[in-house]
Amino acid sequence: MKSPVVKRSVMVNGHKTSVSLEEGFWTGMKEIAAGRSMTLSELVAEIDKNRQQGNLSSALRLYVLEFYQKRSAN
């Protein structure tokens, strides 16, 4: 059985880092980045810069969740 968590490498401020997220979150991140005319790495770097606590994977999940919650409320 294939793991639902996918590990990918992204560039964050010139440094390659590995991030593990479920495929649905990767899809959400790509959609959000495309909608903002930015690369996935640029979006990850922005989220990393603004996170208050926790690890990067958690910050990315929370960002995607909040983005779609706000969108569904409108």
Q: What is the pLDDT of residues 48-70, one digit of tens each?
A: 999 988 899 999 999 999 999 99
* Average pLDDT estimate for 14-29: 94
**What's the rounded Cα separation, in Å, for the pair 51 and 35?**
21
pTM of the complete model: 0.89
Q: What is the pLDDT of residues 33-52, one digit of tens each?
A: 999 999 999 999 999 999 98
DSSP classification of residue 37: T
Look up the CATH number of the domain holding residue 55.
1.10.3990.20
**What's the rounded Cα separation, in Å, for the pair 7 and 36?**
23
Per-residue pLDDT, 3: 61
Total domains present in the chain: 1
